[in-house]
Amino acid sequence: MPDLDPTLLKRAIALSQTARDHGNHPFGSLLVDAEGTVLLEAENTVVTERDATGHAETNLVRLATRRYDRDFLANCTLYTSTEPCAMCAGAIYWSNIRRVVFGLSEASLIEMTGENPKNPTLSLPCREVLGCGQHVVEVVGPAMEAEAATAHAGFWD
């Protein structure tokens, strides 16, 4: 699977631009099974759905847990354009997804957004949240940060 990481992460980054094009914050995620097959994709829908929990990762987790059981999800990877926030990391943990690959780091996102009220980011890396659980969640990233940052360019100004 690691050989597919760049290709799949690029797809998540493309979804972040699609979310922006749809009038939402620029975040995108996808779920992949153990063989590398894309199962689900999700975009951020905070603005269009008027839902503060409509982050790409939580939208994806909602879809995934309705469709697949916990044992299946334990062998899946969630790819996301930006490091999962504390809320999303909690949702990933509770879903039993055991591997996360992300592009832009939370720290880099905070540098881009500053004090923008559209993104009141918690400065809490997902590794810290996921590291407090009773099962291990592998976290890979940041990766391809420059590419992942492109959908954010000019958005938070």
Q: What is the dihedral of CA 88, 155, 104, 33, to 10 degrees?
A: 50
Is 155 exposed, middle or buried (CB count within 10 Å of its CB: 0-12, 13-18, 19+)? middle
Active site residue 145: no
Q: Of these residues, 41, 43, 49, 57, which one is catalytic?
A: 57
Q: In one letter, which amino acid is 48?
A: T
The C-alpha atoms of residue 71 and residue 57 are separated, in whole angstroms, by: 19
Q: Could you give the residue numbers annotated as active site? A: 57
